[in-house]
Chains A and B, each alone.
Chain A
Amino acid sequence: MTPAAPRDPATERAPERAVRLLERFVPRRAVARSIVGDLREEQRERFGGGRVGAWLWFWWQLFVVAITYGSRRGRELGPMPGPDRPQGSLTRWSDDLRQDLRLALRTLRSNPVFAGAVVVTLALGVGANAAMFGISSRLLLRPPPHIEEPRELVHVRVEFQDREGRSYAMGTMPYAVIGDLRGSRAFAFVAGISREEVVVGSGADARKLPAAQVTDHYFLTLGTTARVGRLFSHDEAAPPAGAPVVVVSSAFWERELGADPRAIGTDLVVDGVPRTIIGVAPPGFTGDTLGPVDVWIPHASAMATTPGWWTDRYRRQLAVVARLNPEITPEAARDLADAGYRHGQEGLGSDGRARVELEGIVPGLDRGRLTAQSRVALWLNGVAAVVLVVAISNVTGLFLVRAVRRRHEIAVRSVLGMGTPRLLRQLLTESLLLCGLGGIAGLAVAAWGAGAARAVLLPDVAATADVVDPAALAAAAASAVLAALVAGLAPVLHLRGVPVGRLRMRTTGMGETLTRNVLLVLQSALTLVLLFGALLFVASLLRVQSQDFGFALDSLVLANGEFADSVGPMEREELYDRGVGALSSIPGVAEAVPVWTAPFGPRMAVPVAFPGIAQDPFEGGQLPYLNPVAPAYFEAMGMEIVEGRGLRASDGAGAPWVAVVSENMARALWPEGGAIGACLQVTTDMRPVPPAFAAAAAAALPCREVVGVVNDARRQSIRPEDELIVQYYLPRAQLEITGPSGIGGLEPWGWLVRLEPGAASGQIGSALQGLSEELRYVNVRSYAELLDPQLRPWRLGASMFTVFGLLALTLAGVGIYSTLAFAISQRRREMGIRLALGAPAGNVFRMVVAQGLLVAATGSALGALVSWIGAGQLGPLLFETSPRDVMLLAVAASILLSAAAVASLVPAWRATCAEPAVVLRSD
């Protein structure tokens, strides 16, 4: 009787558990034990094929036997000999559930189109919702990854008040203030961080990457540890100079260092300085906020060449994050921090109206702290919720349709004694099963959609931050259950109270028809709102993009470089000239000029006087923009000389001084005309002049004669109403600027390149990079790229409203189709009679389509009303488009009506196919 092999206690306990389980279903213990024995005997023969498989087989067989015993069919056989055992309620419950599930699966299999429609509809609604919810929760409700006890962490800000009593917050502070806060006992740790881009690598290999400079204690404050190697030690990150070390992100380590642990200890060139890689941050770590960081460097080492930087109280560079002292309340911590801050500010002449404020690092739903990004995300959450409502009402409609179709069956069941609770449970089981499937499919949609949505919505959030999270899962589950309850209960509410006799009649009652039509109208209305929103945003986007910016936007590229500090001003000027030569030799480059200022780039303004004209000719005392330009500038920009002449190469240093003004400027200064030949006195020497001599100094400025008027061009905003742009252009050769401290110089900022139509900008970077070893990095951006951040709100609105609008349109179309198809199948008899009595098929066809259109039209009217009322909310987000644009509303309505017509076509065609003889015989 001793076993051949030593027994594993875990597997020995299993048979006892098996016996106990089987005893719940098998009335006699001896039988249960012998069955377990039989199964064990057979299981042993299967050990050859793997023990795990054999055990799985054992438990599966046990389960099957238990189910067989538990089934009603088993119990119908009457009492067993042997001791009486009461039937456990668990047994009955599991039995009923099994039956309900089996029935549900059978009805689903018998009607795959219905099941498919429900699952797809819910998947879209649930998926859209879960994806958007995941994004919002990532932005608002969850801390950044790899942070210990995030609830103890706070961002420290200082709130100031200006003389008018308006308060404004300052999010960055000098390092010295971190010292004050550390001395205050408010916090366990305090650290600072400054995010910026750095140039990594050198030569052709150089690229800009997101980086962060952090102070000592930063990783300690967050409680983060390295994935490989180590993070900064105190000495490496503390004043005065830290150490030339660097920690890289996991993404960087995998992408650029081949995830090689031997990369630790090697050098990485950051901003031209070789630094030793000492560690790799954990995957997805982005510090105390969500922006991506590839390279972490000690702030102290970046400041090493600035003497005494850690005592400077004016250089506000660091965002401050702190871990609260766990022994005191947050309120007490705030007061202590405030006291510490004030102590540090003593003797600095601050007015004492500044206050330290602490904010948890998880933003939460505090209205005042929502970023533009979060607002958009919340908006889209709302839109996704609308899609979910449409989806649920659609599914409810489908279930209603089916409940009516199953009246006969349900009547039979209730005649056979199935009570309302049991009926309810059966219908709910079905809807839960289907909606559960829909929810699961929805998660797949969410996982796929969240990636796309994040790329559009959260370009500033590191891509490693996961978006489908437990919150999104919960949202998906909750919406699926909600859908199941609504969709499962609605038919029950309708069927309840209907006499059995009527249940047998296979016609539709007024109640369901009304409910279904109300649901369809609701769907259509919401769809119209979304479609209208999409059109408004698309119109805005098109109008923004088709604006006349005053220059040849499409073909222009701006390039600029970063030189090593060792390159002197003269050398740079020379490099810019050589750059023009290099660019001009690239095929496809029409024109290349050095620029000092550029639209959507750097700008410049100096005091300027106009003899004979009042002091403040422009709105609000603004200074006109000064543009020092090369002779070919206007040509390169594609600008048009409206009056007079442009600038020439002959307008050199020794020639008479000339200027070209913009149309706006000419109009403001010389409304009657006569700009040509007028005089501009431009202050180029900014050194302070004693007041007594100021007037004389101004009067002594030489005249620059206006020789031409050029068309207006946009400066920095794609919204024209944001500014009145007044600018003038002077030949660079005739301009020297002297700064307030006497040091001057006017170094080009970069190059402006106009490409031939269809030419690519690919070679520009390498051509410039080849100019000099001292050129660390070249940035080449087309105007389309430069304007992109400003276009984002409209692009976002247009794309997301369009996606959700089309989604809703599809769902509404499916809803109309399924409802009509069902109604037609109910009314085949009527159709047959109509046709038999000689109604032309065209009439029947039109009647059905008209029904579909009526629903859509009613929905459109309701949706138009809702849009009209809610328009005010959307107005500020649009561009030169009225939120009550009747034309666009009409377009949206006609899209909806067309979809409704298409959805009605098939049922209408079917109606005309009703063969009178067949239909009448069938009843």
Chain B
Amino acid sequence: MGKHTVVGEFEQVVLLAILRLGGDAWAVRIRQEIEREADRDVSRGALYRTLDRLEAKGLLQWEEGADGPARGGHPRRVFRVTAEGVRALRASRATLLNLWDGLEGVLER
């Protein structure tokens, strides 16, 4: 497990949101997805920094997508989770599930 990159909680949320959006993930949609599904406010600055960080860790890739008139001719970055990213998510989930084991009695009160 040690060789997997550790991802933080918000990073997981972002990665999961991208996976859920499929091939249609750019920043505006990612934010909306998190706000809708995770029911939390996301500051744009934090989201961009996190996307950059995940990219730097090699968990994300992006390519320039179409620019629409709505974007004033500015390109959109369409994100895709890399294989490394998926592995990191799995590892995180496994870690959490291990830790959850046997605690149902305590937590489900």
User: Does A65 interact with chain B (Cβ within 8 Å)?
Assistant: yes
Chain B, residues 64-103, CB within 8 Å of chain A (1/0): the string is 1001111111111100000000000000000000000000
Chain B residues with Cβ below 8 Å from A68 are: 43, 45-46, 48-49
User: Does B20 interact with chain A (Cβ within 8 Å)?
Assistant: no
> In the complex, what distance in Å separates the CA atom of A20 from the CA atom of B74?
13
- Give the size of the chain B interface in residues (CB under 8 angstroms): 25
CB <8 Å contact, B71 and A40: yes
- Pick from A2, A12, A64, A65: contact of B72, CB under 8 Å: A12
Within 8 A of B (CB), among A620-673: none
User: Does B27 interact with chain A (Cβ within 8 Å)?
Assistant: yes
CB <8 Å contact, B74 and A36: yes
CB <8 Å contact, A33 and B28: no
CB <8 Å contact, A37 and B74: yes
User: Does A923 interact with chain B (Cβ within 8 Å)?
Assistant: no
Within 8 A of B (CB), among A16-68: 19, 26, 30-31, 33-42, 44, 61, 64-65, 67-68
CB <8 Å contact, B45 and A34: no
Chain A residues with Cβ below 8 Å from B27 are: 34-35, 38
CB <8 Å contact, A34 and B52: no
Q: A34-B77, A35-B27 known; A69 and B71 CB under 8 Å?
A: no
CB <8 Å contact, A15 and B69: no
- Minimal Cβ-Cβ distance residue in B for A68: B45
Q: A44-B70, A61-B44 known; A74 and B49 CB under 8 Å?
A: yes
> In the complex, what distance in Å separates the CA atom of A37 from the CA atom of B64?
12
Which residue among A2, A34, A41, A78 has the maximum number of chain B CB atoms within 10 Å of its CB?
A34
CB <8 Å contact, A81 and B76: no
- Pick from A2, A12, A69: contact of B49, CB under 8 Å: A69
In the complex, what's the smallest C-beta–C-beta distance from B29 to chain A, in angstroms?
10
Chain A residues with Cβ below 8 Å from B67 are: 37
> In the complex, what distance in Å separates the CA atom of A35 from the CA atom of B74?
8
- Minimal Cβ-Cβ distance residue in A for B66: A1
- Minimal Cβ-Cβ distance residue in B for A78: B56
Chain B residues with Cβ below 8 Å from A67 are: 45
> In the complex, what distance in Å separates the CA atom of A884 from the CA atom of B74?
81
CB <8 Å contact, B76 and A69: no
Chain B, residues 43-65, CB within 8 Å of chain A (1/0): the string is 11110110011011000000010
Which residue among A3, A31, A38 has the maximum number of chain B CB atoms within 10 Å of its CB?
A38
User: Does A80 interact with chain B (Cβ within 8 Å)?
Assistant: yes
User: Does A887 interact with chain B (Cβ within 8 Å)?
Assistant: no
CB <8 Å contact, B75 and A34: yes
Chain A residues with Cβ below 8 Å from B68 are: 1, 41
User: Does A4 interact with chain B (Cβ within 8 Å)?
Assistant: yes
CB <8 Å contact, A64 and B45: yes
User: Does A77 interact with chain B (Cβ within 8 Å)?
Assistant: yes
> In the complex, what distance in Å separates the CA atom of A638 from the CA atom of B52?
97
> In the complex, what distance in Å separates the CA atom of A3 from the CA atom of B44?
26
- Minimal Cβ-Cβ distance residue in B for A15: B72
In the complex, what's the smallest C-beta–C-beta distance from A379 to chain B, in angstroms?
57
CB <8 Å contact, B70 and A41: yes
Chain B residues with Cβ below 8 Å from A31 are: 48, 52, 77
> In the complex, what distance in Å separates the CA atom of A42 from the CA atom of B31?
11
> In the complex, what distance in Å separates the CA atom of A40 from the CA atom of B75?
11
CB <8 Å contact, A37 and B45: no
CB <8 Å contact, B69 and A69: no
> In the complex, what distance in Å separates the CA atom of A67 from the CA atom of B76?
21
In the complex, what's the smallest C-beta–C-beta distance from B71 to chain A, in angstroms?
4
Chain A, residues 66-105, CB within 8 Å of chain B (1/0): the string is 0111000010011011000000000000000000000000
Q: A15-B74, A34-B74, A69-B45 known; A2 and B52 CB under 8 Å?
A: no
> In the complex, what distance in Å separates the CA atom of A172 from the CA atom of B67?
80
Chain A residues with Cβ below 8 Å from B64 are: 30, 34
Q: A37-B75, A37-B76, A38-B28 known; A65 and B69 CB under 8 Å?
A: no
> In the complex, what distance in Å separates the CA atom of A31 from the CA atom of B48?
9
Q: A37-B67, A42-B28, A80-B56 known; A65 and B45 CB under 8 Å?
A: yes
Q: A15-B72, A65-B44 known; A41 and B77 CB under 8 Å?
A: no
Chain B residues with Cβ below 8 Å from A65 are: 44-45, 48
- Minimal Cβ-Cβ distance residue in A for B62: A34
Chain A residues with Cβ below 8 Å from B55 are: 81
- Minimal Cβ-Cβ distance residue in A for B58: A81
CB <8 Å contact, A40 and B70: yes
Q: A34-B27, A77-B53, A80-B56 known; A69 and B48 CB under 8 Å?
A: yes
> In the complex, what distance in Å separates the CA atom of A36 from the CA atom of B73?
10
Chain B residues with Cβ below 8 Å from A15 are: 72, 74
> In the complex, what distance in Å separates the CA atom of A26 from the CA atom of B55?
14
> In the complex, what distance in Å separates the CA atom of A19 from the CA atom of B73?
12
Chain A residues with Cβ below 8 Å from B71 are: 37-38, 40-41
> In the complex, what distance in Å separates the CA atom of A2 from the CA atom of B68?
9
Chain B residues with Cβ below 8 Å from A77 are: 49, 52-53, 56
CB <8 Å contact, A2 and B69: yes
CB <8 Å contact, B77 and A1: no
- Minimal Cβ-Cβ distance residue in A for B64: A30
> In the complex, what distance in Å separates the CA atom of A485 from the CA atom of B53?
42
- Minimal Cβ-Cβ distance residue in A for B51: A31
Chain B residues with Cβ below 8 Å from A40 are: 70-72, 74
> In the complex, what distance in Å separates the CA atom of A30 from the CA atom of B74?
9
> In the complex, what distance in Å separates the CA atom of A2 from the CA atom of B76?
18
> In the complex, what distance in Å separates the CA atom of A31 from the CA atom of B67?
14
Chain B residues with Cβ below 8 Å from A3 are: 69
Chain B residues with Cβ below 8 Å from A12 are: 72
In the complex, what's the smallest C-beta–C-beta distance from B67 to chain A, in angstroms?
6
> In the complex, what distance in Å separates the CA atom of A64 from the CA atom of B27?
16
- Minimal Cβ-Cβ distance residue in B for A61: B44
Chain A residues with Cβ below 8 Å from B70 are: 40-41, 44
CB <8 Å contact, B28 and A41: yes
- Minimal Cβ-Cβ distance residue in B for A16: B72
- Minimal Cβ-Cβ distance residue in B for A42: B28
- Minimal Cβ-Cβ distance residue in A for B74: A37
Chain A residues with Cβ below 8 Å from B44 are: 38-39, 61, 64-65
Which residue among A26, A42, A67 has the maximum number of chain B CB atoms within 10 Å of its CB?
A42
- Pick from A38, A44, A74, A78: contact of B26, CB under 8 Å: A38
CB <8 Å contact, B74 and A33: yes
- Minimal Cβ-Cβ distance residue in A for B71: A37
> In the complex, what distance in Å separates the CA atom of A12 from the CA atom of B74?
12
> In the complex, what distance in Å separates the CA atom of A37 from the CA atom of B76?
7
Chain A residues with Cβ below 8 Å from B53 are: 77
Chain A residues with Cβ below 8 Å from B74 are: 15, 19, 33-34, 36-37, 40
In the complex, what's the smallest C-beta–C-beta distance from A40 to chain B, in angstroms?
5
Q: A61-B44, A68-B46 known; A80 and B52 CB under 8 Å?
A: yes
> In the complex, what distance in Å separates the CA atom of A15 from the CA atom of B26?
19
- Minimal Cβ-Cβ distance residue in B for A67: B45
Chain B residues with Cβ below 8 Å from A64 are: 43-45
- Minimal Cβ-Cβ distance residue in B for A12: B72
CB <8 Å contact, A35 and B48: yes
In the complex, what's the smallest C-beta–C-beta distance from B53 to chain A, in angstroms?
6
> In the complex, what distance in Å separates the CA atom of A452 from the CA atom of B57?
67
- Pick from B43, B46, B73, B76: contact of A38, CB under 8 Å: B76
In the complex, what's the smallest C-beta–C-beta distance from B94 to chain A, in angstroms?
26
> In the complex, what distance in Å separates the CA atom of A40 from the CA atom of B70?
7
Within 8 A of A (CB), among B12-50: 26-28, 43-46, 48-49
Besides A61-B44, A64-B44, A64-B45, 4 other CB < 8 A contacts? A30-B64, A41-B71, A65-B45, A68-B49
Write 16 A-B pairs (CB below 8 A) sorted by A numbering.
A4-B69, A12-B72, A26-B48, A31-B52, A34-B64, A34-B76, A34-B77, A37-B67, A37-B71, A37-B73, A40-B70, A40-B72, A41-B71, A65-B45, A77-B52, A77-B53
* Residues of B that sit less than 8 Å from A by CB: 26-28, 43-46, 48-49, 52-53, 55-56, 64, 67-77
* Residues of A that sit less than 8 Å from B by CB: 1-4, 12, 15, 19, 26, 30-31, 33-42, 44, 61, 64-65, 67-69, 74, 77-78, 80-81
The list of the 8 closest CB pairs from A to B, nearest first, reads: A68-B45, A37-B74, A37-B71, A34-B77, A40-B72, A38-B27, A65-B45, A15-B72
